[in-house]
Amino acid sequence: MKDEYQDLVDEISALLGAPATLENRDFRLIAFGAHDSDSDGGELVLDPVRTRSILTRQSTSAVRSWFEGFGIARATGPVRIPAAPDAGVFRGRICLPVRYRGIVQGYVWLLDQEGPDAAAAGPGPQALAAAMEVAQRIGVLLAQEAKAGADLSREFLAVLTAGRGWQQDMAVAALRLALGTAGEGPHTVVCVAPWAGEIPQSVPGAAAVCVVPAQDGEAGGRLAALVRMRGTDALAPALTALGRLLPRAAEPQGAGAGGPRAAQPTPGQPPAGAPAAGAPGMNAGVSDPVRALGELPAAWEQAGAAARAAAAQPRFGPVAQWSRIGPYRMLAALSPGPADDPAARTLLSPAHRELARTAEVFLDCAGQAGRAAAVLGVHRQTLYYRLGKVEQLTGLDLDEGEDRLLLHMALKASRLHR
């Protein structure tokens, strides 16, 4: 299909008399036209943005923000965008939005003419109209390619549910054959739960999607997306997919491999300005990257655990990355049923909700009474009184490390089953 994109980009370049580039809606390069030598000096002159796009196959966030600010995702015709040196855009652009059935699939870009008469010197209305017709043909191809991910739902679902042994080996082989070159790793798996709808026809960035039926005790099914990573960033492609699946998907804490961590929230409290979930009761988890398709079931378990952690702890936001959910990595792998340790049973009843929160904050603060009292907004003596009541109800000694560990695990595990 790449040759088809190249032929269509070359056709636009010929119509407009200027080299064109084609990017998908995530600003990743698909094809580009040949760039002629500068007629005056005989040297190849490239705009820095175009050079970066060709060499790295993507644009910077500053460039994306500048372009998107001109409404290109909503436009139905050519959009002229001026230069913005502060954003790294040193030449103006003409953007031809590539759409299919009203949904933007990508963008064709051309360098605009320079000078006060740029609009008059550039391509005329008839040439641009002809180029837009070619862009519509590109939109059909991009939409068909995106839909192919949903068409692989059966093969992807088989890998996630086949279990161990020869059944899984056969399922992996079938998925590898169906994916073709898109099966080359590394991949990350995304879980969205609960999911009550059909399989989306188009999920940008996803090589395959499927709906996994609910297990015992689950409310609704879970949607799984197989996302191929690009570069070293484990999250950017996954968040692109989640942007379609969660209406208000937010970047998880400490997003980006090797990127700076977000400020840690106060224990027991969501961070200031924490986003609400993308849809009521809907959360998502992202696994660690895996290279072999045979590792997808384990990645799926990670993504599911992260989604459960996102639902349990508001501070993780609507999207949680498995590598950053701390103790929930182990707790989510334990019994699927609710925690029911005799020592914590009474404390976890609705009648003692405030005492349970007090104990959780105290343990989150590593037993530092002053810090816990500040988080709870109570006097230290009030904290001691409540902790005494906790010890009476549980029979545990909060001066003993193992008793603290047991209670902390019970409190955290209870969040997974609320």
* Helix (H), strand (E), coil (C) string for 32-89: ECCCCCCCCCCCCCCCHHHHHHHHHCECCHHHHHHHHCCCCCCCCCCEEECCEHHHCE
Q: pLDDT tens-digit profile of 31-45?
A: 887 655 443 333 334
- Evaluate if residue 417 carries a pLDDT over 70: no
- Concatenating the DSSP letter of every residue in 367-392 gives T-HHHHHHHHTS-HHHHHHHHHHHHH
DSSP helix/strand/coil, 232: coil
User: Given pLDDT bands bounded at 50, 70 and 90, which one contains residue 314?
Assistant: confident
Residue-range domains of the chain with CATH = 2-147 (3.30.450.40), 152-331 (no CATH), 342-415 (1.10.10.2840)
User: Given pLDDT bands bounded at 50, 70 and 90, which one contains residue 280?
Assistant: low
Q: pLDDT tens-digit profile of 246-279?
A: 754 434 444 333 333 333 333 333 332 223 333 4
- Cα(87)–Cα(58) distance, integer angstroms: 15
The closest alpha carbon to 412, from 343, 363, 377, belongs to 363
- Evaluate if residue 298 carries a pLDDT over 70: yes
Measured in whole angstroms, the distance separating CA 15 from the mean position of its chain's CA atoms is 37
State the chain's mean pLDDT as an integer. Answer: 78
What is the mean predicted confidence (pLDDT) over 8-32?
88
Which tokens sit at 179? 């994916």
- Cα(319)–Cα(285) distance, integer angstroms: 6
- Cα(91)–Cα(47) distance, integer angstroms: 7
Say whether the peptide bond before residue 19 is cis (omega within 30 degrees of 0). no
Q: pLDDT tens-digit profile of 125-148?
A: 999 999 999 999 999 888 877 666
The closest alpha carbon to 152, from 177, 178, 170, belongs to 178
Tokens 């942007």 sit at which residue? 243
- Evaluate if residue 55 carries a pLDDT over 60: no
pLDDT of residue 257: 34
| 390, 355 contact by CB (below 8 A) | yes
pLDDT of residue 57: 47
Measured in whole angstroms, the distance separating CA 59 from the mean position of its chain's CA atoms is 18
Q: pLDDT tens-digit profile of 77-131?
A: 999 988 888 767 788 889 999 998 888 889 999 988 765 665 566 788 999 999 9
